[in-house]
Structure formats: structure tokens, C-alpha cells
């Protein structure tokens, strides 16, 4: 529950929603009667917490499976999910009205959990696939540098050009100043 809404406000909202439930702009009317809340705050609070039709029990396994299947099969091309359709499908199939927040929170927590599991499995599989040789290289097979190579490298270091950034200034273009307030 939100700290913004107290029990007295909840009673008033329930009372006014019962009175104005058939009116299209009911949240605007209620916000005029309870001026400390904006219409979108009232709508969000009603649809996610106060609506008496909401089932506030935890999601069942069947509902979770339905959400996963519905989202995977009905996701839009751009990846967006229409949560209203998911909620309506849950209501039709299971006879329980769930809030969009609850359904969305379940889906997002499942995605995070799956991502963590995948990373953990990848890390474990990389760790298992390592051999002793890949962890500890065989130094006897690597060529040892000889004195001639070391001297040659030191002599040729002075020949290499020094690379510095090349910067040019164009004084013909005006500089636009942004005011600081």
C-alpha cells in the first residue's frame, strides 16, 4: 500500500467510485472532490489496490504459466506487451481480476531471474571447460628472448615517430554561448 493514501482517503475514494462508477471521467470528478490527489494517481491506485474486484492472492502456477505463454505468443513486433490483454485473458480463463502491476511485476522478475540463471550457467560452463593447460601455460614451449632481440628493440624505439593529436582551430566560426542560470 502507498503511504500517500491514508485510510480516510481510501474510504472516500471507495464511496465516490461507487457513486460515479458509470461516469467516464470519474477520476477527474473525484480529484475535484479530494483535491490532494490528481486523476492519474486516483486511477492508478484504484486499478492496482482499491478495486474490490481485484484478487490480491499470490499468482497460482497455472496463472504464471498462462502469463508466460500469453506474453511469448502475443508480444508485438517492437517487443511491447499489451498488459490489458494479459489481465483480461487471466480474468476470462481463471475468473480472477489481477492488477496490471502484479502481472507486469511477475513477468519482469521472471525475466531478471532467467537472465541471472543464464549468466550463472554460462560462467559455470566456461569454468568447467577450462583445462589445466589453459589455466597454466606451458612456459617451456614459448621461445625465450635472446640478447640480440632485446638490443634491436631498444635501438629501434628511438626511430619510431611520436604520435600526438593533431588539433586545428577555426577562428572564423562564431562560438555559441549558452546562458547559465
- pLDDT value, residue 155: 54
Nearest to 103 by CA among 74, 75, 76, 66: 66
Residue 123 banded pLDDT, cuts 50, 70, 90: confident
Give pLDDT tens digits for 46-95. 999 999 999 999 999 999 999 999 998 888 888 889 999 999 999 999 99
Cell of 70: 500469453
- pLDDT of 107 strictly over 80: yes
Residue 175 CA to residue 170 CA, distance in Å, equals 10
Which residues is 54 bridged to in the sheet?
Answer: 97
pLDDT in tens, 14-32: 999 999 989 999 999 999 9
Q: d(Cα 116, Cα 130) in Å, to the nearest integer?
A: 22
> How far is 124 from 1, CA to CA, in rounded Å?
40
Amino acid at each position: 500500500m502507498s503511504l500517500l493514501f491514508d485510510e480516510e482517503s481510501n474510504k472516500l475514494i471507495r464511496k465516490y467510485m461507487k457513486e460515479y462508477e458509470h461516469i467516464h471521467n470519474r477520476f477527474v470528478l473525484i480529484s475535484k472532490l479530494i483535491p490532494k490527489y490528481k486523476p492519474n494517481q486516483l486511477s492508478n491506485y484504484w486499478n492496482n489496490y482499491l478495486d474490490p474486484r481485484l484478487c490480491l492472492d499470490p499468482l497460482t502456477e497455472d496463472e504464471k504459466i498462462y502469463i508466460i505463454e500469453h506474453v511469448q505468443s502475443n508480444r508485438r513486433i517492437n517487443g511491447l506487451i499489451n498488459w490489458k490483454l494479459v489481465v483480461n485473458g487471466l480474468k476470462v480463463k481463471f475468473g480472477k481480476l489481477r492488477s496490471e502491476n502484479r502481472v507486469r511485476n511477475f513477468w519482469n522478475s521472471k525475466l531478471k531471474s532467467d537472465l541471472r540463471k543464464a549468466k550463472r550457467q554460462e560462467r559455470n560452463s566456461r569454468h568447467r571447460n577450462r583445462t589445466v593447460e589453459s589455466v597454466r601455460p606451458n612456459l617451456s614451449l614459448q621461445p625465450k628472448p635472446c640478447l640480440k632481440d632485446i638490443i634491436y628493440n631498444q635501438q629501434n624505439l628511438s626511430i619510431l615517430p611520436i604520435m600526438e593529436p593533431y588539433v586545428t582551430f577555426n577562428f572564423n566560426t562564431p562560438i555559441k554561448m549558452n546562458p547559465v542560470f
